[in-house]
Amino acid sequence: KKQKKGLTPEAPTLAATFILFFSQLSRRFISIFLTTPLFSDSLSLPHSPASSHSFWPIIVFRRIDSFAATSVSRPKQYHRSPQPLNQLPLPLSQPGTLAQKIGKSIRRPGAASKARVYADVNVVRPKEYWDYETLTVQWGEQDDYEVVRKVGRGKYSEVFEGFHCTDNEKCVIKILKPVKKKKIKREIKILQNLCGGPNIVKLLDIVRDQQSKTPSLIFEHVNNTDFKVLYPTLSDYDIRYYIYELLKALDYCHSQGIMHRDVKPHNVMIDHEQRKLRLIDWGLAEFYHPAKEYNVRVASRYFKGPELLVDLQDYDYSLDLWSLGCMFAGMIFRKDPFFYGHDNYDQLVKIAKVLGTDELNAYLSKYHIELDPNLAALVGRHSRKPWARFINVDNQHLAVSEAVDFVDKLLRYDHQERPTAKEAMKCRKRQNSNALRLETNEAFLSIENFINCGGILHWEILAIILL
């Protein structure tokens, strides 16, 4: 085609030469243009005698020069002296960079923390009770169970609905992902120790694949309704009831010397039709020993207690009460999650914006904790926000004074100020009795008003009561 148009083979080379020549010429022209005194920086000042239309090429070419990183020299006043990397402000829009910059909090000695209740449960019990590393697992037959469908997944497992082949009884099969044997043994030991406890999910069997050696835990089946669907439909009484049932499970596991460490809606199965609740997923649970330092990388972000976020390692059962408080606050204020942090550092910020930084500083001082300066700067200063700020027309029927008071008791920085599960149960029982008495009084008042208005006769009321 090129030969038909009369182009010689040398034409492309010639064209390329012309392009190269003009590009070099234009680059030199721009370089001269920018370095000529006539177009120096004094021209760009407001009092410059140059006309306004002569400014645009300077601005344009400077932008080109800046982005293309040409060798044109610049006036010194446009440069700052280099700043040490560790003195540069943190780019808050980049969580990854922020995470790299913030170090762990420093804990000075002399302010140890100990559980207010059940502190010595594992001290007085034989070592076999809590020493899960020596556990010998009794494996069942995997062929006794069949998988029906996948119902969920987590960081450490895949969860399926299944059934027992002999009696067709429904079950839940939790297939564990490859993790340390020690962690698997811990979960099994804890479930065995808690077996039969109130509202604790029941472990039915432990099996493993003969070839891959992948272990699976077999649990009782719960006809659960997803909490995102269920919670918006719950009444004030329903919420009180289920929180009380959850407290039963927590008090029992605490009384057995065990912290759950991952209380959240995803781990609370509710069969609303049967009004049955089960606390599940004991993969992060641990035995409590006084003065022992635990890993703070437990619990899900939105339900992490402040003790985890400030690296206090000798925490205890009270961690579970904070998580329950977050759950309860989300339910009554219809705000899920209640503390919505983008990462662990931001989670502390979100808590501080509600509970205030004066209380946070008092907590840190009590336990001799010094935050990393970057984290302290990120948290900033905030006044305590009154709970009434979270009440609106959509949640006021749930966020009644007793419920708000209960949230206030649970969501405390100082873990030792939170009620124990047993204390919280007594508080809820008293509040439930008051609520029931109030509802009964309102019901009788409604009937009395109806009678006074001539709705029905007294003898008809008597007949209804007798029936």
SS3 category, 251: helix
CB atoms within 10 A of CB 243: 23
Which residue in the list 167, 209, 236, 262 is annotated as catalytic? 262
Question: In the chain, how many H helices and how many E strands?
Answer: 16, 11
Residue with tokens 């960079």: 97
Closest by CA to 254, choosing from 277, 280, 282, 288, is: 288
CB 430 within 8 Å of CB 402: no
* Pairwise CA distance, residues 409 & 355, whole Å: 12
- Alpha carbon of 288 to those of 118, 247, 345, 421, 431: distances in Å? 9, 18, 26, 15, 30
CB 249 within 8 Å of CB 259: no
| 314 assigned to active site | no
Closest by CA to 188, choosing from 263, 132, 144, 145, is: 132
Give the β-pairing of 268-271 and 106-107: unpaired
Closest by CA to 157, choosing from 126, 129, 188, is: 188
CB 309 within 8 Å of CB 347: yes
Burial class (CB in 10 A: 0-12, 13-18, 19+), 49: exposed
* Pairwise CA distance, residues 33 & 27, whole Å: 10
Secondary structure letter of residue 363 according to DSSP: H
To the question of whether residue 170 is assigned a binding role by annotation, the answer is: no
Binding site members for ATP:
174
Residues in binding site: 174
Residues tagged active-site: 262
